[in-house]
Amino acid sequence: MFCGIGGFHAALSQLGHECVFACDIDESAANVYETNFGIRPSRDIRECTNLPDFEILCAGFPCQPFSKSGSQEGFGDETRGTLFHEIMRIVRESDPSILFLENVPNLERHDEGNTYRVIRGAIEEAGYRFWSEVLSPHKFGTPQIRKRLFMVGIRDDLCCEEEFSFPKESNERTDVRDILDPRDVVGDQYDLTPRQIEVIDTWGQFIKALPANSRPPSPTWSQEFGRRYPLEEIHPISTQKVRVKDLKSVLHEEGQPVPESRFRKDAVSLFPPYIQSSKTQLPDWKKNFIKKNREFWEEISHHLEPGWLEKVRGFKHTYQKFEWQVGDSVRDIWSHMIQLRPSGIRVKKSDYIPALVAIAQVPIVGWQKRRMTPKECARAQDFDVDGLKGTTFHLDTSDSSAYKQLGNAVNVKVTGLIMEEIEQYLQGDTQ
């Protein structure tokens, strides 16, 4: 169910299991699945009936809000209207031996744990023992941090007295270079734009200029460098309670340009975006971040070249935030992995990449000044795009679709390791 491009299929087929049915509403993902496995996925899980016999149900299901209304039908009623309910409908109709599910780690905490409680309760009520564990490929030798909640349900009549155990982490050394292609075989379409290079270069000047014993706040908000607007009286600035005259006075005292316009929006626009959008008084955590960044600027501003701050203020707001997550490693921004995120520019060590996501946040190989290719991202998900295990896995011909599909996929190696543990458990080998 929700097969995507086939992470579960790739993992289980390597262990000798045969897939008899697949389903996904995303047509481009279904095309990739059919290309690789010869099965055309059905589109809508709600229309999946009269399925062939099967023993294992796999699903990386969407986590939609669970209804709390109605309790007449127990857990079955609580899941009604969600796609998880459709999984349980199929379970009740087909009575498979094994349920193998995957979702984001936050599922355990969602709605104060209610969502996880409902899922576990529904599975146990259907006649299965239930286990779950958060695992990530970077703990098993693949250079990607991708923490995911894996859930295993085994039908009661197949269970032994012992508990099921998830695979033990190997904690092998990982390095992004292990999954990269040589620079000379990567097309120039993955090169950074001149503007992106300028932005990263500018932040590179910042990190190099800092004294050896100085670390920037995490995150670094350059919008607060040199600012002095009060953090109490004038917030929220977007409401009529704060006069435009007072906002202009604050801007004047800060040395900021003061608009001649009488319109509130023109004065508000000269404050950082997170101040503009605030609808309430600033929370303490935000005030603390602001204070730390202002104090940091006062300490280190004289180390930077004149005009550096003015240049950064010319960047779009996303590029005015910075996260240095490599500690005391080499202070050369181009020596590390970089990500251009909605929350800012993030720099990380080359041990592993952050979790691939289904939006345009493709990791950047700093020392090559380019984005990772879809093929390299597929290796981070352990798809056999090089044919090392016999059959080459083919990605979507559209890079943007391939990135999205890989960001939605389950990791093949971790999935396979869990399935091996399930097999051993069913064989009575729980050591």
Q: Which residue has the tokens 């101040």?
A: 275
Q: What's the rounded Cα separation, in Å, for the pair 133 and 148?
A: 8
Contact assessment for residue 77 and residue 35, using Cβ atoms and an 8 Å cutoff: no
Among candidate residues 63, 159, 160, 377, the one labeled active-site is: 63
CA-closest candidate to residue 134, choices 145, 125, 147, 143:
147
Tell me the HSE value of 137 on the side-chain side, using a 13 A CA sphere: 29
316-353: buried (b, 16+ CB within 10 Å) or exposed (e) per residue? eeebbbbbbebeeeebebbebbbbbbeebbbbbebebb
Q: Give the 3-state secondary structure percentages of the chain, helix then strand then coil, rounded to 5.
A: 40, 10, 45
Whether the CB-CB separation of 226 and 304 falls below 8 Å is answered with: no
* Sequence-distant (≥ 6) Cβ neighbours of residue 328 within 8 angstroms: none
Q: In terms of C-beta density within 10 A (0-12 exposed, 13-18 middle, 19 or more buried), how is residue 217 classed?
A: buried
Phi (first) and psi of residue 182, to 5 degrees: -60, 145
8 A C-beta contact, residue 235 and residue 255 = no
Scanning the structure block, which residue is given the tokens 């597929």?
378
Alpha helices, H only, 323-373:
none
Amino acid at 212: A
3 part of the active site? no
Cross-strand bridge partners of residue 101: 59, 151
Q: Which residues contact 26 (CB under 8 A, 6 or more apart)?
A: 4, 405
Instruction: Please answer whether residues 412 and 7 qualify as being in contact, where contact means their C-beta atoms are separated by less than 8 angstroms.
Output: yes
Residues classed as catalytic: 63
